[in-house]
Chain A
Amino acid sequence: QKEVEQNSGPLSVPEGAIASLNCTYSDRGSQSFFWYRQYSGKSPELIMFIYSNGDKEDGRFTAQLNKASQYVSLLIRDSQPSDSATYLCAVIAPQGNNRLAFGKGNQVVVIP
């Protein structure tokens, strides 16, 4: 089982809609969860981190964490064309000596 899985294919959403991204992780002891945004040809940029169960909101972004089910999600409200990017889920894995483990990412395309 992969440490961090992002299984969805490319996600196309119309401008103004909600984009929803999901991520599951295997290490039940994980305590820290991150979402990075990566534009084509650029490096990943941290957009959200979450440590506690529940929701965390930052502007148009909401991260949701459910430790019992071992998933973390990211909602992008009022999607804009500038949100078109690949979104990477990352988890600090205690079983991996606290290194940061990444999923393969989900591409989001916002259609004007």
Chain B
Amino acid sequence: KAGVTQTPRYLIKTRGQQVTLSCSPISGHRSVSWYQQTPGQGLQFLFEYFSETQRNKGNFPGRFSGRQFSNSRSEMNVSTLELGDSALYLCASSLGSGVKDTQYFGPGTRLTVL
């Protein structure tokens, strides 16, 4: 079974621009979660989508948004990029089955904001 895929793998943007990242989950998985990872803050939860609906949201500003399509693929968008948005953005997919759900990560998108 193919794993979680993320595109692009690397991005370089400048302040003020916007960016869209894409995530394709494992076949059959209906939940996609997004995380930001930086050396200082570790893995921080952005949001989770399940069946095209945002089910959970972390403490990030409204510049960070996402969506999920009917085939469970998900995108996240960051508008008005800031230097502090430079990070590894990870998505993880799961069945979305609640308390025993197991998440599997994609390879990540490394975003650099100049």
Interface residues of A (CB under 8 A from B): 31-32, 34, 36, 42-46, 49, 51, 88, 90, 92, 94, 96-105
A100, B100: Cβ atoms under 8 Å?
no
* A32 in contact with B100 (CB, 8 Å): yes
How far is B98's CA from A22's CA once the two chains are assembled, in angstroms?
25
Most buried by B among A31, A45, A92, A96: A92
Chain A, Cβ-Cβ closest to B98: A98
A/B pair count, beta carbons within 8 Å: 58
The answer to whether the Cβ of B48 comes within 8 Å of any Cβ in the partner chain is yes
Q: Is B102 in contact with A34, judged by CB distance below 8 angstroms?
A: yes
Tell me if A98 and B45 are in contact (CB < 8 A): no
- Bin chain B's interface residue count: 20 to 34
Q: Bound state CA distance, A101 and B43, in angstroms?
A: 9
Q: A49-B102, A104-B42 are in contact. Are A99 and B90 (CB under 8 A)?
A: no
Say which residue of B42, B100, B104 sits within 8 Å of A102 (CB atoms).
B42
| CB under 8 Å from chain A, chain B span 66-101 | 88, 90, 92, 98-101
Asked, given contacts A43-B107, A43-B108, whether A99 binds B102 with beta carbons under 8 Å apart, the answer is no
Instruction: From A31, A44, A90, A105, name the one whose CB has the most chain B CB atoms within 10 angstroms.
Output: A44
In the docked arrangement, what's the CA distance between A40 and B51, Å?
33
Are A94 and B99 in contact, with the CB atoms below 8 A? yes
Indicate if the CB atoms of A44 and B101 lie closer than 8 Å: no
A51 and B102 alpha carbons, distance in the complex (Å): 11
The distance from the CB of B36 to the nearest CB of chain A, in whole angstroms, is: 11
Partner of B99, one of A43, A45, A98: A98
Given A43-B108, A45-B105, A104-B42, decide whether A99 and B33 contact each other with a Cβ distance below 8 A: yes
Quick one: which of B15-54 are within 8 Å of A by CB? 33, 35, 42-43, 45, 48
B105 engages A44 (CB within 8 Å): yes
Q: Do residues A51 and B100 form an inter-chain contact, with CB atoms below 8 A?
A: yes
Q: A34-B103, A46-B102, A100-B103 are in contact. List 13 more A-B contacts (CB 8 A).
A: A31-B99, A32-B100, A43-B90, A43-B106, A44-B105, A46-B104, A51-B100, A98-B98, A99-B48, A100-B33, A100-B92, A102-B42, A103-B42
